[in-house]
Amino acid sequence: MDSMFSKVVIFGLSFLTLLAVQRYLEYRRLVQVIGAPSPSYITTLFSRVSVLGLLFPGGIPGIVSGRSSAWTGKFKEYNKAGWEATVHVNILPLGATISLVDPTVIREVTSSRARFPKPVQMYKVLSLFGDNIIASEGDEWKKYRKIAAPTFNDRNNKLIWDESKKIMLDLFDNVWGSRDEIVLDHARSITLPIALFVLSAAAFGRRISWEDEETIPPNHRMSFKDAIHEVTLNLMTKVVVPNWALGLTKRLRRVRLAFEELNMYMLEFIAERRIAEKKEERDDLLTNLLEASLDDPTFTDQDVTGNIFIFLFAGHETTAHTLCFTFALLALYQDEQELLFQQIKSVLADGRMPSYEQMPQFTRSMAVLNETLRLFTPGHTFTKYSAEDTRLVISNAAGGKHDFILPQGTPIMINTIGVHYNPRYWEDPEEFRPARFLDPDWPRDAFLPFGAGPRACIGRKFFETEAIAALTMIVLRYKIEIKEEPQFASETFSERSARVLASRIILTITPNRVPLVFKRR
């Protein structure tokens, strides 16, 4: 019996050894095919784009490279490799992912949609309300792009500006009131509602105020305000938790209800606009999307809800977190805040409120926002893959060139954080220097917060309009400072900066806690 058991064990060990040797040889062949310089290889057991990579965003050394390694490492792994690309080789299953921070190569990849398509299966989890422009490729994407692009027009931009002003004035007059100082334990408590209220008005044509409680209409169990609020805060919960588990707790049932209610509201808004005898003059995205799709009978109500939701998803946390980081940076760098205030005052010398027509004049507001986007890029990475065996010529700071050979199907991660911290394009990249964006020759190819190529974010002007309006209104009326707390009284500027700007990757780069004081000027 013992002899039989020993033979089984020996056979099993021999089999596993053969498998290990075979996998090692396959690994060596893959490395030889890619042909990248040896310092650029990072080998782990599992792929960084696997489920394990999502579950462990910080990564596990030798096991999996986590998503947040792009944020914590910034440009370090490329500096160590000596090339503006690294190759992450995973053993189970055997494969490789190339990570790029070379703007020239990124432009080649993003402009060649046939050679480097988007792996839409990775984004299907965002089709919660229907297919959409993000989770599509090929002819379907072209259809969505053709219909969606005209909805982001100048009339909608003016609506965004005007609604942003109203929302900020409502905050100043009816929430903060006559107080000379407003202390916030976390600035996200105002930036999330600002972004949500602007989106509600500009995307759905529904205004939401800071304090008014919405009534729940007949046939609904949740107000529109509560539904849209819950959905925007719990997208990751809905993506990760299976449908059958959403009924297990009171909290999860509320999340499920919010998604059901928002879908009902969107379908009702669509029906109201479709059957209205007299078309109202509206400039919100929903109305524009319906008008743009009139000539395409294949564009269904579910296509409308799917794309409107994507506009909501793409524009909420990204804007809210960027504004939060912007306020934090201005509070830390008082000289930059003063320069911004003086430039705003020079544009508004007559004392009037900023108008949409004046938006191009707020050059320093845009520079401050761009520098914040560079330092805290919401969309930290985006992915393509090679549709065929292909070659990418990667460079380094010394001017060297090297061929990286990509087998068909190789995932390509475009690391926007790495690009934004690449010292070849950004002098002292760790420093907050808005003036770098006032130079007419600033490196546009190395600035990718909205993606690049034909699939770049079509909502860029939406963000810029809302953010410039909100930032300009805040700085015009209030001076922003870091909240003083006794336990941090002896910290250095570096320690304070690290604490206030501490962040993590969830769906976007998310500030941990930004305690601020807004003092009336």
The token pair at 164 is 């942003």
Q: How many residues does the chain have?
A: 521
Q: In what order do the strands lie in the sheet with 181-184?
A: 181-184, 516-520, 478-482
Euclidean distance between CA atoms 108 and 113, whole angstroms: 9
The token pair at 70 is 């792009």
Question: Are the beta carbons of 380 and 505 closer than 8 angstroms?
Answer: yes
Strand partners, 263: none
Measure Cα distances from 174 to 101, 171, 211, 266 in Å. 46, 6, 8, 29
The token pair at 438 is 């006032």
Pairing of strands 95-100, 411-415: parallel
Measure Cα distances from 19 to 14, 15, 140 in Å. 9, 6, 42
Question: Are the beta carbons of 251 and 244 closer than 8 angstroms?
Answer: no
- The 10 Å CB-count burial string (b at 16+, else e) for 25-44 is eebeebbeebebbeebebeb
* Binding-site entries: 457
CB atoms within 10 A of CB 11: 10
Pairing of strands 41-46, 85-92: parallel
437: CB partners within 8 A, 6+ apart: 366, 367, 370, 371
Residue type, 14: S
Question: Which of left, alpha, beta for 219 (phi over 0: left; psi -120 to 50: alpha)?
Answer: left
Euclidean distance between CA atoms 93 and 233, whole angstroms: 34
Three-class SS state of 30? helix
* Binding-site entries for heme: 457
Question: Are the beta carbons of 457 and 450 closer than 8 angstroms?
Answer: yes
440: CB partners within 8 A, 6+ apart: none
**CA-based torsion, 469, 475, 478, 482: positive or negative:** positive
185: CB partners within 8 A, 6+ apart: 483, 513, 515
Euclidean distance between CA atoms 368 and 170, whole angstroms: 24
- The 10 Å CB-count burial string (b at 16+, else e) for 397-433 is eeeeebebebeeebbbbbbbbbbbbbebbbeebeebb
Tell me phi and psi for residue 467, to 5 degrees.
-70, -40
